[in-house]
Amino acid sequence: MNPDIRSAIDFYERHPISCEIILAKLKASRGHLDDLTPEDLFPHDQDHYGGLAANDALAQRAGIGKATRVADFCAGLGGPARYLAYRYGADVTGIELTPARVKGAQELTRRAGLQDRVRVIEGNVMQVPLSDASIDVVVSQEALLHVPDKRRVLAEAFRILKGGGRIAFTD
């Protein structure tokens, strides 16, 4: 395995925000984990600078709206993916390299009831497991700095984007 990729996996496997930590905070504040809504998660699951305002800025700049097919590169625990699906009606596929974060994203998405519009799958953004010309928008927040080959990740974004597709990211 490429040492840069191994380094990114190691970093995020030890990251201070995890599914377990988010659920523990929610349980402590609510007393239970029943009937979680996406809004319950938003204060805890935005693992990037700028929080919800950054999600809104990306959505506006990328023209994300109802039924927009979005790929979230380096999706982490899926907080932005869930937000874009809930707030804007997008259909979001997150691509995440770290198995523990994929599992956590899937758990949080299920608990928020968004599994019909959000999926986070294990994959490498330098070899995206999505079909050519299948996505309207590619987003990424505070994560491309970990990708060792920026040209390759951008080539993958262009490969999966439909004609007229858009890329919006922070880094």
The span from the CA of 107 to the CA of 100, in Å, is 11
pLDDT of residue 15: 55
Q: How confident is the model at residue 12 (pLDDT cuts 50, 70, 90)?
A: low
pLDDT of residue 2: 66
Per CATH, the architecture of 3-170 is what? Answer: 3-Layer(aba) Sandwich (3.40)
Residue 148 CB neighbours (<10 A): 13
pLDDT of residue 91: 98
Report residue 44 as tokens. Answer: 């805890």
pLDDT of residue 50: 83
Q: How confident is the model at residue 6 (pLDDT cuts 50, 70, 90)?
A: low
pLDDT of residue 5: 54
pLDDT of residue 110: 97
Contact indicator for 120, 75 with CB cutoff of 8 Å: yes
The tens digit of pLDDT for each residue in 55-77 reads: 999 999 999 999 999 999 999 99
pLDDT > 90 fraction of the chain, expressed in percent and rounded: 79
Residue 135 CB neighbours (<10 A): 23
Q: What is the mean pLDDT of the chain?
A: 91
Indicate yes or no: pTM above 0.95: no
The span from the CA of 84 to the CA of 161, in Å, is 18
The tens digit of pLDDT for each residue in 70-121 reads: 999 999 999 999 999 999 999 999 999 999 999 999 999 999 999 999 999 9
Residue 50 CB neighbours (<10 A): 14
Beta bridge partners of 137: 70, 166
